[in-house]
Amino acid sequence: MFIDGGRDQLDKINDQKIVPGYHQFKEPEPYDKKYLYIGFAIFCFLLLAVIVGVYYAIIFKKRSDQKDSASLASQANIVGEATSTDFAGAFPGDLDSSGNNSDEDDFDYSDIRAEDLTFGYFYEPEPDNFKFNFKNYSLPLNVKTEVSNYYDVSRKIALDDYVGDINKYGFAIIKNDNPRTVDNFYDAYRYLAGKEIPLVMTSDFVLYYYQNNLKQIYKEIEKTTFFDNIWDVSNRMYQMSLVRYKKRKDQIGLGNDELLEAARLECAYFATALRLMSPTKDQISAEGKNKDKNLFDEDDVQKYHFELPDFLQEDVSKEVDLIRNPAKTKVKSPVFLYERNYQYFLVPQGYSYNAKLKNYYLTLRWFNSLFPLYYRSEACPNCSLDYDDWRINMIAANLISEDLANNQDLKNKWAIVYKFIAFFSGLRQDLTYLHYRQVFNGLYGEKRVEEIFSEKRQNEEYQQWQSRLAKFDFLPMEGGIARNEDNKAIIGLRFLQESYWPNDYIFNRLVGKELTPISGTKDKKATICSTNDGWRCSGFGYDIVNLIAGKPLEVQNPYYLGNTNYNNYNKRLQTLRGEIEKFNVNSWNNNIFWITLELGKIILDYDSQYFPIYAYDKYWQENKNINTVLGSWTEINLPSEKIYDYFESGDKRLGSYPECNNLNYIEPNVKLVNEIIAKNKMLIKMLNALNITKKNNIASVELINLNNKFARILEISEKELRGEPLDEEDCAFVNDFIIRYAVDKGKRSFEVVGDVKIMIESVEGIKYLGLVYKKGEKNILGLGPIFNFNENYDNYK
């Protein structure tokens, strides 16, 4: 249950006891009247206190009941079975689905149980009462005679192929003819500004800027708060397990004891984590002028120092070496005693440049290690452990679960890490320490694991234990592993679940042999299998758009029509939409994948009456909005790109700082920017509630600055839509926002691996949006970069 910060005050009020005093009556002296008045005043004060106390007790009880009820309902996927009907309840702490939580803003969160807190609890929509009063031009238009700067722009950018679209729709999607020099948003804006072409701040750029800044802020939190939290949790869990191991060893001496081996396994597990986090010799920076901020300094070396005990030297050292220098073939784990693929520990570019981030990444991957639920047998021939080793492994899993569950401070530290990783990177929902504790407590009540396993247990108890854990079910939409024979080998406890975004689930629900081409269609389909009985064996990006759009898409694009023209496609799509329709405020705000799709939904479900004339025709939806949504969906699946100040870097490939152009324009989408601001406020409140901002002020400052910038974008957009001229400060802000920075471009594509085909989703390079808009009484043509979304396929079967 979420514990609000008002509890202390309410408890103090409710704990007051008013005990009437007993007084023997005697005739008061005349001068005693003042005491009578004082006594009456005290009585009134105490009566008022009772009334206030009763009132707040009722309010608190009502709020507590709501929270308890919501929390229990919402934890179905955490401490109970989940079904397809309770997806919205999969997120703990579902306190108020309306999102109206403003009365909680001043509460003290110091006593919070972090594992029960959700991002959605802090979500509150921004007010949407803006009044529009903008002027429109008429369509069709003659761009050559009715647009003031057409000829000036056409001399700098080839427009001949796009005049028809601009005349008819008021905009055109323009190919980038300079892809080698201009291959990202920032370079595109500087390129256009250097040619003195009016700049359009596109919604594509706004989303890219938002997403990439969130990724950068997350990186900052990872290498500061998260690193320290994981070190503290690992160290304290190690210390508890070490005490247990030594105590048990002293009790039994040298012997073949399951509890002793389980305690040793837990000890080795967290010792490996600590060794992975500790700086190696080549990760320590020189001091003074040559200090490298991407390496550990001398203070770090002292802080993150860990000495292995002699009894763990051999296996833990070998384990760490295998992780840091992964073999290309499967090798038996010295700690877990089963074979594993150590290529799993290869560090991606986004983490390899910084020593702390690299060690953090390796530790998280180690925490993905499996404590299997099943042992090797005829029922599970591919399972990793034989029965005897499995029993030890199961006891160790319960020791870990008990040690974490019984320490609220550790639970809070771990929950902070867990929740933010799940929010920014996505985590699969499956068995956690909470499920293991629920089953253990259900079988043995308040007894401790050591107490139960101090003597060898019967096989039937292990089977009962296993069968109860196997009953937990998790929603496939959130990565729950299907409970079937083929998956037994990969089911079990993971201290940290594996990374997961729902792409696979969405696409897999829209393929299958019942999805056959509709008779009579001869179009070539990228999603079809190249067999005689061709069926839809791959998804495509438009499946994402179809899933979130509030109404059927009116798209005439042959690529779209051909790859949705299957029997049973719409039936499958409707089933999938049914799951999305159950989403509540917590569901949409559970992680940045769903936040991105919700922002995409705002773009797709726009009301054209609140937009200028270029957005009136469905051509805008088909050619601009859908591309924006697909681009932002691709972007959220990519690693962050490093942003730096272009004009401080000495890089002047695309010219010096340009003059402010009063004809610059922001593509207006008030609802989109409002929603981004609301999401940022939600994130800031969550950071504050979990005290992350106290440990990492940089992240807090960056988020606040980010929101201030979006507030200015909103303010300027509203001025545009009211038909008001922009002042010099507005112009300077837009100019600075879109051209000041540069980017070290990273990977611009990702793969979705299906059973037959690999989908390659790319936003490599940029395209331009050419847009006609009003500035005073003049029609102006401006340009701005948009996502260059592309989709390709590789067959590998």
Task: Tell me phi and psi for residue 384, to 5 degrees.
Answer: -80, -35
Instruction: Report helix angle 203-221 to 626-636, nearest 10.
Output: 10
The CA distance from 783 to 201, in Å, is: 8
Beta strand 331-332 pairing with 339-340? antiparallel
Pair of tokens at residue 248: 């048990």
pLDDT value at residue 336: 98
pLDDT value at residue 76: 30
Q: Which residues of the chain have pLDDT under 50?
A: 1-36, 52, 54-110, 797
Element housing 468 (H / E): helix 459-470
Ranges assigned E (strand) in 289-416: 331-332, 339-340, 371-372
pLDDT value at residue 431: 96
Q: Is the pTM value of this prediction over 0.85?
A: no
Count, residues in the chain: 797
Beta-bridge partner residues of 752: 759
pLDDT value at residue 354: 93
Mark out the alpha helices in 170-256 (DSSP H runs): 185-194, 203-221, 227-252
Beta-carbon contacts of 61 under 8 Å, excluding residues fewer than 6 positions away, are: none
**Percentage helix, strand, coil for the chain under 3-state DSSP, each rounded to 5:** 55, 10, 35
Beta strand 200-201 pairing with 665-666? parallel
As a whole number of Å, the CA-based R_g of the chain is: 31
pLDDT value at residue 113: 74
pLDDT value at residue 77: 33
pLDDT value at residue 530: 73
pLDDT value at residue 42: 56
pLDDT value at residue 91: 28
pLDDT value at residue 105: 39
Neighbours of 84 (CB within 10 A): 13
Neighbours of 30 (CB within 10 A): 6
Task: For 39-76, give the secondary structure using H, E and C.
Answer: HHHHHHHHHHHHHHHHHHHHHHHHHHHHHHHHHHHHCH
Pair of tokens at residue 281: 């010799």
User: Which residue carries 């079904």 as its tokens?
Assistant: 83
Q: How many CA atoms lie within 13 A of 382 on its CB side?
A: 8
User: If we measure between CA atoms, which residue out of 453, 441, 368 comes closest to residue 406?
Assistant: 441
Q: What is the DSSP string of 678-741?
A: HHHHHHHHHHHHTTHHHH-HHHHHHHHHHHHHHHHHHHHHHHHHTTPPP-HHHHHHHHHHHHSE
The CA distance from 561 to 168, in Å, is: 24
Identify whether the C-beta of residue 547 lies closer than 8 Å to the C-beta of residue 579. Answer: no
- Amino acid 444 reads Y
The CA distance from 740 to 646, in Å, is: 6
Element housing 773 (H / E): strand 766-775
Beta strand 200-201 pairing with 790-795? unpaired
